[in-house]
Amino acid sequence: MLLSQNAFIVRSLNLVLMVYISLVFGISYDSPDYTDESCTFKISLRNFRSILSWELKNHSIVPTHYTLLYTIMSKPEDLKVVKNCANTTRSFCDLTDEWRSTHEAYVTVLEGFSGNTTLFSCSHNFWLAIDMSFEPPEFEIVGFTNHINVMVKFPSIVEEELQFDLSLVIEEQSEGIVKKHKPEIKGNMSGNFTYIIDKLIPNTNYCVSVYLEHSDEQAVIKSPLKCTLLPPGQESESAESAKIGGIITVFLIALVLTSTIVTLKWIGYICLRNSLPKVLRQGLTKGWNAVAIHRCSHNALQSETPELKQSSCLSFPSSWDYKRASLCPSD
């Protein structure tokens, strides 16, 4: 046990040196994965829960269960077992209720078993403020004609220290154009949050990504894109009413014009002819010298043809049989 504690002290000193270099010289580490001889560790903030996951480098080793132990570097205490990660078959452990401070260094030991036989033991030291990576929150999108509702799902209760001065970022992408939205959230990030992306173009495809922004960009994990095709714009009721009214107006005007023309022809005011009346053609072939066309009054023709009511008539020589004459012959 004394040898193990000395090994922990050496690793702890290495961790303190790493933290000092990072804070003083601004040097960040490329990967949040940490390796031991047997294991690869990763600590991440998943839905505002501190999740430690691991993977065996030697895949031929197949443990039946794991046990996770830890201690806090600043406190002279022995290793203690994480209750919900004792004899577990999962390859991850929720340490939210155990690791409450982001300013402490945690010494961690993972043991793998096959039955009662210990297959391996690996350890690592974690400083949450540096080692934590930040997974995106869960979210849903609903598209409307000219806007999108983005519903971000946060836990109902979030520890204040686990917020790491994070800010929510919603990225909107369409036709190669990316726009960032940074909604202001009052208080803690807890409960569901809805943000509206407005002034969008109907009948256009939009994609949305959500993530938590941190000063260390390498620790940020963006969510996969969720896309929606906005429905086409619909004409307003007033525009449809105006369109229908215009169609009715045109129809009524056409109906009035047609009725007027039919009525004028029926009363004899107009006579549509493509050629001269037959009586004129006969008169011209017989060698009549002249046919005079002049204006006459309505009363002059009423005695001869009472059924004819026109404002103009034909006047023929006195030898013409007026009973045969007609202003609008049948052929």
Q: Structurally, how many domains does the chain consist of?
A: 2
Please provide the average confidence, as pLDDT, over all residues in the chain: 76
Question: What pLDDT digit, counting tens, does each position of 247-269 carry?
Answer: 898 888 988 888 888 887 777 66
Question: Could you tell me if 165 and 127 lie in one domain?
Answer: no
Question: What pLDDT digit, counting tens, does each position of 6-54 carry?
Answer: 444 444 445 444 444 344 444 444 444 444 468 999 999 998 899 999 9
Opening angle at CA 279, ends 274 and 280, nearest 5: 65
pLDDT of 243 reads 77
Domain boundary among 114, 131, 148: 131
Percentage of the chain modeled with pLDDT above 90: 44
Question: Could you tell me if 126 and 181 lie in one domain?
Answer: no
Paired sense of beta strands 105-114 and 226-229, if any: unpaired
CATH number at residue 140: 2.60.40.10
Q: Which residues constitute the domain of residue 200?
A: 136-230
Domain boundary among 186, 204, 230: 230
Residue 55 clears pLDDT 80, i.e. is over it: yes
Alpha-carbon distance of 233 to 202, in angstroms, equals 6
Model confidence, pTM: 0.58
Residue 230 clears pLDDT 90, i.e. is over it: yes
Alpha-carbon distance of 219 to 114, in angstroms, equals 34
Question: What pLDDT digit, counting tens, does each position of 173-229 carry?
Answer: 999 999 999 998 876 777 889 999 999 999 999 999 999 988 888 888 999 999 999
Higher per-residue confidence, 201 vs 163: 201
Question: What pLDDT digit, counting tens, does each position of 100-134 carry?
Answer: 888 889 999 999 999 999 999 999 999 988 899 99
Helix spans in 35-97 (H): none
Q: Is residue 103 part of a domain?
A: yes
Is residue 121 within 8 Å of residue 111, measured between CB atoms? yes
